[in-house]
Chain A
């Protein structure tokens, strides 16, 4: 998977499955998912399951911090670092 595809795949999942919208452009890569309330604790459980299944990584609970999950870009960066 290309580097840019990671961002696109994560954004598509969040827009479609968490925000329940179709138009992916509603979510900027650097928009704060936490401050805008897009990502709550219940959605986080789903997102982690998605990231682990899609990218074959394991998300440690110690990694559940804002630096890793603030934006689509930071999530993608975290995925690449695993």
Chain B
């Protein structure tokens, strides 16, 4: 077992950190308040190489392995406080670009993957519906074959990036009698007749990442817009969920490290009862717990990335990682708020925003309950 990083990995991680600290800083308090998606920062990330990092150079990517990509995402989470931007980037990379990379034709990759790597196109993933969330395959959207076309009807909700997206990966029933294996995946351009994108839905956190409903009414697309084989939708969704579950929270490992440093600085500076509050065990122990969570979460993250690179992905390890990292990110945000006392409750100190942003992490990409179900099944319970 070798825990050391290569020179190339260290260089890319450090460069990403430097980029994030210099280029991804703006008036986030105001943007968060107003729910504004940072198109300029998105473009800067693409120019640096974030969106394309794990994808082939032939499609505008950086050809990095997964562990290296994860290290860069961790650095991004340390240097950039805009969790909404980071969430939007991850949502596109793992659940839009990755399925196109894994299941798309060369033509589809040239049309969608290349411009997404370059930041010229934004993609969104539509699976959840008003009546189907955790029970994802009970979706009711249909795709009826008519000659060389499919006609789609239905509604998707909670579609991350939808208000700013140029294209959508959408899942629909092509043969209801086959159950979850009657589902197929499609690539739909925003300007397709019959496709309507709703307004941004306000939410507790991640406010700089817009999301909305997407409605399809007799939305006709060419057969060539189907992603993968007919009936392979469940396989494509499971695959993209494996990537998303594994890495959508990678930024938060960097975020946890930043948070600990902020808390240490504050606890050493803030004085009560004649001494720094860091000298009180009640405060120090919180920071110790934050550190233990950070290091254990980081090891889980690196292990899952390493397994992906070895070509042996593990549903069990990915579920454990998603469950552990999300729940401990929330705990650390709570601790950071408590350590900062009343100041932690103010918008100005930027501690409360992390907490609001964190709450969604146990909900999206599979709730904590669903991760526990997956783990239980692997234990044959």
Contacts and interface: CB of A to CB of B under 8 A. Distances in A.
Interface of A: 34-35, 37, 39-42, 44-46, 49, 61-67, 69-70
Interface of B: 102-103, 136-137, 175, 177-182, 228-232, 234-236, 238-239, 315, 373-374, 377-378
A65 B377 contact: no
B125 to A, nearest CB: 16
A35 B182 CA distance: 10
A62 B229 contact: yes
A63 B229 CA distance: 9
A65 B235 contact: yes
Contact of A42 (B181, B230, B377): B377
Contact of B235 (A35, A40, A62): A62
Given A45-B315, A46-B377, A61-B235, A34 B181 contact: yes
A65 B234 CA distance: 8
B230 to A, nearest CB: 8
Contacts of B374: 45
B234 A41 contact: yes
Given A46-B377, A66-B182, A35 B177 contact: yes
Shortest Cβ-Cβ A-B pairs, 4 listed: A64-B235, A61-B235, A61-B239, A41-B180
A39 B234 CA distance: 13
Q: A-side binding surface: helix, strand, loop or mixed?
A: helix
Given A41-B238, A62-B229, A65-B229, 5 more contacts: A40-B137, A62-B228, A64-B181, A65-B181, A66-B175
Contacts of B235: 61-65
A44 B374 CA distance: 12
A68 B96 CA distance: 26
Contact of A34 (B103, B178, B239, B377): B178
A69 B181 contact: yes
B315 A62 contact: no
Contacts of A65: 181, 229-232, 235
Contacts of A37: 179
Nearest to B311: A58
Given A34-B177, A34-B178, A41-B137, A62 B232 contact: yes
A39 B228 contact: no
Most chain A beta-carbon contacts within 10 A, residue among B177, B230, B235, B377: B235
Contacts of A35: 177-179
A45 B234 CA distance: 11
A61 B177 contact: no
A61 B378 CA distance: 19
Contacts of A66: 175, 178, 181-182, 231
